[in-house]
Amino acid sequence: MCRHIAWLGEAEPLGDILVKPVHGLLRQSWAPRHQRYGTVNADGFGVGWYAEGDPAPARYRRAGPIWADLSFADLARVVRSRAVLAAVRDATAPGADGEAAAAPFAADRWLFSHNGALTGWPVSAASQAASLPVVELLAMESRCDSALVWALVLHRLREGDGAGQALADTVLDLAAAAPGSRLNLLLTDGPSITATAWGDTLWYLAEPGRRTVVASEPYDDDPRWHRVPDRTLLEATRTDVLLTPLKEPPA
């Protein structure tokens, strides 16, 4: 349904991470190599990044395809960051909510993306939505399934859960409420990346001390890319990557 990427390393122009690689996110918007569902990601895109000394991320999002946005091409050439999260979107419901439904979603110091779909949306997610305080439901940026997934994750983060626990518990609860859902989640706070592989592809490339990249698919043919097994939680920093299996919820 989407392609997304999170990157940690020395300060690089956004274009070197998202545009220049031969199979980078720009190309994945029309020619993904490993996407299991959908073929073109033209229903919006977004990129979030952190400026030096500022823990709150900036975002640039649009409702149209990334390849058609000339302003982004110029921005990507000059903006540099040590931490980036970006996504291109193939909407579950085409046209729904426009730019507001494009990842990354953001709050506090966090950036978030969801690659996948909730089966039976929105009925299947009613029980999960009901678990949120009304004020948090009203604060959702859009009515799409990804916005609800983000609201559930953010609620757990603000209640004190660590990033890994927040993502794992959200995935397991949603998988129980809506079996067959695809729940590849991607989260960063700048120093770290947390992700899940649940129903679609996820890869990582780690060069300790230089860069850590977690993405739906490799952006080049470097043999050091590793595929993350399905039903796995990934937790990474600039120096380390930890993989933890996630158990299927009981039937």
- Residue 2 a catalytic site member: yes
Residue with the two structure tokens 């960063």: 188
CB atoms within 10 A of CB 53: 5
The dihedral built from the CA positions of residue 168, 174, 179 and 185, taken in this order, carries a sign that is: negative
CA atoms within 13 A on the CB side of 165: 8
Cβ contacts of 179 within 8 Å, gap of 6 or more? 119
Two structure tokens written together for 67: 């390849």
Q: Do 213 and 6 touch, CB atoms closer than 8 A?
A: yes
Q: Catalytic: which of 1, 2, 14, 66?
A: 2
* Catalytic residue positions, numbered: 2
